[in-house]
Structure 1
């Protein structure tokens, strides 16, 4: 267990995913294992923002799980938790459109999130 205090991270999110997070329907956020996310931990807060707007939504990080790639992530977390509006195959195409192969090679993070009460 870490001795660091929970932090607030600011991350951009596309509108379609922002709306699913804000409604509580999306409980797993997918990210690449970038160095700036290495310290993301359970208990932290993420403030999602739609880029170019003041619109935000805050969530609590419940769990951070690393996967070798997006396929393993979707299989491990369940596609309906990542995007309840799309099939597993549709999600894989969409995620890979955002993150090209060289980014996916860094590893994938599944962030279990919950709305702040």
Structure 2
């Protein structure tokens, strides 16, 4: 593996994209899918609003694995994930995106910082 950063492209819903682009969302939540298993500090994520050309790039500062979304929210602090919603609202929103069989794969807290 070379020492250059890998760039990954991931889709985001508009409301979460706006929080990332504003620097207000510093933790991205994902299920531990196989394609994200090797995500590492220093990698670059290019977030794209689904179906648009609007993107923003962030650097991965840290990746932490949790057994599920409740443990992730408690470990990372809900305000870092979405400062506009309560912990319970976030848990409901995350589980609406990722059903329980996806959550069973494990949850990733990806600490991000805006580039540029």
Which TM bucket (shorter chain)? over 0.9
**Structure 2: where are the runs of 5+ without partners?**
none
Partner of 2:42: 43
Q: Give, in whole Å, the separation in 2 of the partners of 1:42 and 1:3.
A: 14
TM-score (norm 1): 0.96
The structural deviation recorded for 1:5 is 3.3
Q: CA-atom RMSD, angstroms?
A: 1.1
Partner of 2:102: 103
Q: Give, in whole Å, the separation in 2 of the partners of 1:3 and 1:93.
A: 40
**Structure 1: where are the runs of 5+ without partners?**
none
Moved over 3 A (4+): 2-5
Aligned residues: 116
Q: Secondary structure at the match of 1:54?
A: coil
List per-residue Cα deviations over 1:12-58 (Å, max 9, x = no partner): 00000000000000000000000000110000000000111000010
